[in-house]
Amino acid sequence: MYKFIITNILALQSKQVPATGIGLFRLFYGLVTLQEIFFLLYFNHLIFDPIPYIDVEFPMIPFFLCLWGIVAGFIIVGYRYQFAVICNYIFWIVFVNFTTMQRDFDGGFDSFMTGAGFFLLFMPGSRAFSIDNLRYKLSTPFRHYKSYPKPTVSSLAYFLPVLICLGFLYFDSAVHKLFAEHWRNGLGSWLPSTQPYYVSAIDMSFLLNNELLQKTIGYTVLVFQFTFLFFFSNRRFRSAYLLVGLALHLGITLSLNIYPFGMGMLIFYTLLVPFSWWRAMGNLLTAKRPSLTVFFDKQCPLCNRTVLILNHFDIFNCIDFKSAQDNAGHYPVMATISPETLLTDLYALDSANRIYSGVNTYIQIFLKMRYLYLLGIILSLPGIHFLAAKKYRAIADSRIRIPCSSECLISPKQQDNTLYHQIFECFAARKPKAFSRKLAKILIAIFILQLNSTIHYGLIYRLDTAAKNSPLSSTIAEASNALIMVSLTFLGITPHALYLHDHFAGYDRILAITYTDQNGNERWLPFVNPQGRLLAPNWGRVHSMWANIAVTPTINNTRLQKFIMKVTAFWGQKMGLNLNNTVFNIKLKRINAPTYWVYDLLHQNFSAPWVTIGTIKWTDNRISYALPDDINSL
């Protein structure tokens, strides 16, 4: 087995593939992280304050979230890549493990975002769609933009994150699902989609009311998760796993209100797209021939750098850049313009032989680039055009021309300080066998950590055996828990027992909060609506707080009161209510969460009646509860 792993590592390491998928993975990971930071900023007081807006314990949280947002922006554009991914990894660990996010506001996807952040430390994420790649080109301004080879990376950079972050996760999740009756009945995807707390605003009843379809989806998910680990790398099956996985997580994103989980999983599928698909997509989206030709002074460093920047962002290849001079120093391309005039501006020629110069050239470039069309329109507006032309003239007239010798065409050695370059290119190139042995040992260690989590929580925890209570078993369990704590914190390895029978068994009541306004009318807090749905933006980790911790099959009054306090204080302030003059009503609705299929269950749960079971009042920033002693008996 050990030799088999080493052989495959050597084979994958030696295979060079395009960096397209890695670049997109980095970009989408940054976008998902950034949207979560915006979410945390919006719900800052609800999540981090002991009493929202009243007892603010962490006033510096927004500042650090903004710093994290800047880091996420760097990841999106690929700027200072290694620095950015290290900072991002630290931010995920600190916020998830040292704030209330860890216990009360688990986002459901924090673990694999941490795991993905760990792998990004060692991935060549700056090789495609990045500012870092542009910065390298700008260091050699006299080198023609077409002379740069397309970046390639080792196929290990694609294989390892998918193997561990998806393959191990799916297999662990499938083991847990075997112990859930509704999953064994093929209703694993159906049941959460019929519960008001869990559904999005999109009504999926037309799909949920088809029993055969739902059971087909349920069993397909089971087979998919059990087999993904073993067959995803097979070229014949990769497309099938890609399409099923995309459908699965797109369905989660659209139908359930845990959209960050769905989006976080979807980003991994950029690493699973066959390279032929990227090439076909590129051929489909890029222009067959340039719609604009731009002429520049090849002896002007500023002009050359400008061309490199514009070409870097011309992702659809709509612009062709040509030197105004030929190799002999003549100007044959645009003979109607004198050399003195030609060298004072950036000139362009479109497909209709219309000539543009100066700011008008930039306007045409933006228009022809397609996705910058709006910027071109804005730049052409009278006042903005005048100011831009004035600024352009000042820069163009002050530029310096430098005759280019043969030395300036030599590209300096790229200074790549990323961990990927140092480990997977430098060390692996010098000592391939030593590299493969060390990496094999690391993979085996990660596999053991995952196996520990799967066996501990997926099997032993769920099997009722007498040996569980023996002194030896207790010692082993403590050691196992210690390992799980380490693997969860730094690698995101955790049990993936999501929405199983121990979650829904007995989940037959849900709660909502209303308030009485100054006119004596009862109004719903913008939290849970009359159907029982959690309203946007109370999704993701706020949904987890209410639906998975506050309201459970066995409701704990202490936890429930804590989160009622947080929700009423937060939304009361957001809505401008005077807490001391507002009475909040706690309402209860009976719902059904069976392990067998029921026609139109979603609408049945939506239409169930509410009853008021208690009230909440605030007095001098102190809350008092008038609730039943045992809500579970209602």
576 part of a folded domain: yes
Question: And the tokens for 326?
Answer: 């030929």
60 part of a folded domain: yes
Tell me, what's the pLDDT at 407? 47
629 part of a folded domain: yes
> Worst-scoring range by mean pLDDT, 15-24, 347-356, 410-419?
410-419
Last residue of a domain, one of 357, 376, 409: 409
255 part of a folded domain: no
Asked if residue 625 and residue 518 are part of one domain, the reply reads: yes
Q: What is the pLDDT of residues 40-50, one digit of tens each?
A: 999 999 999 99
Question: Which neighbouring-strand residues pair with 514?
Answer: 524, 585
CATH code for the domain of 395 = 3.40.30.10
- Binning pLDDT at 50, 70 and 90, where does residue 328 land? very low
Decide if pLDDT at 302 tops 60. yes
571 part of a folded domain: yes
Last residue of a domain, one of 409, 435, 451: 409
Cβ count within 10 A of residue 248: 21
Q: What is the pLDDT of residues 406-453, one digit of tens each?
A: 445 444 455 678 999 999 999 998 999 999 999 999 999 999 999 888
Calculate the average pLDDT of the chain: 89
Tell me, what's the pLDDT at 393? 85
Give the domain extent around 84. 20-135
Question: Which neighbouring-strand residues pair with 199?
Answer: 256
The tally of domains found in the chain comes to 3
Residue that wins the pLDDT comparison between 332 and 16: 16
472 part of a folded domain: no
In angstroms, rounded to a whole number, what is the distance separating the alpha carbons of residues 175 and 375?
Answer: 52
Asked if residue 625 and residue 520 are part of one domain, the reply reads: yes
Last residue of a domain, one of 135, 163, 189: 135
Nearest Cα residue to 105 out of 564, 545, 594: 545
168 part of a folded domain: no
Question: And the tokens for 179?
Answer: 């112990």
163 part of a folded domain: no
The whole-model pTM stands at 0.92
Tell me, what's the pLDDT at 297? 77
Tell me, what's the pLDDT at 415? 66
DSSP 318-383: -EEEEESS-TTS---TTTTS-HHHHTTS-EEEETT--EEETHHHHHHHHHHTSTTHHHHHHHTSHH
